[in-house]
Amino acid sequence: DVKVTQSSRYLVKRTGEKVFLECVQDMDHENMFWYRQDPGLGLRLIYFSYDVKMKEKGDIPEGYSVSREKKERFSLILESASTNQTSMYLCASSPTSGRTLLAKNIQYFGAGTRLSVL
């Protein structure tokens, strides 16, 4: 089974702090994603990475940065946390290649990190 592990289930941080959210996948997937989830808005893509050291902005990258130094690890960084970044953050991974189109398009999600910024 694919396993996507997020380092923390719950985090409480202060406004202005630098925050790191870590995500590790064990399936050698090329693609990794960071989403935030807010009530009524579904999941919105912050950043994704299709290879080591490669990244692309998603729909809401402002206030965030990412780092992918190793294939299995994708970090989301809040340079200076603000209260409007209080949210649930979800990491996902997916393969680029696969035996079928279905296999290539399935994203596997971590359990999420609920971040509160006070």
Partner 1 sequence: GIQVEQSPPDLILQEGANSTLRCNFSDSVNNLQWFHQNPWGQLINLFYIPSGTKQNGRLSATTVATERYSLLYISSSQTTDSGVYFCASLRGNMLTFGGGTRLMVKP
Contact positions vs partner 1 (CB under 8 A): 31, 33, 35, 40-45, 48, 50, 58-59, 88, 90, 92, 94, 96, 101-102, 105-109, 111-112, 114
Nearest to partner 1 of 36, 81 (CB atom): 36
Nearest to partner 1 of 42, 83 (CB atom): 42
The span from the CA of 45 to the CA of 92, in Å, is: 10
Q: Which of 37, 42, 21 is nearest to 88 (CA)?
A: 37
Distances 1 to 26, 42, 108 between C-alpha atoms, Å: 9, 26, 10
Nearest to partner 1 of 35, 74 (CB atom): 35
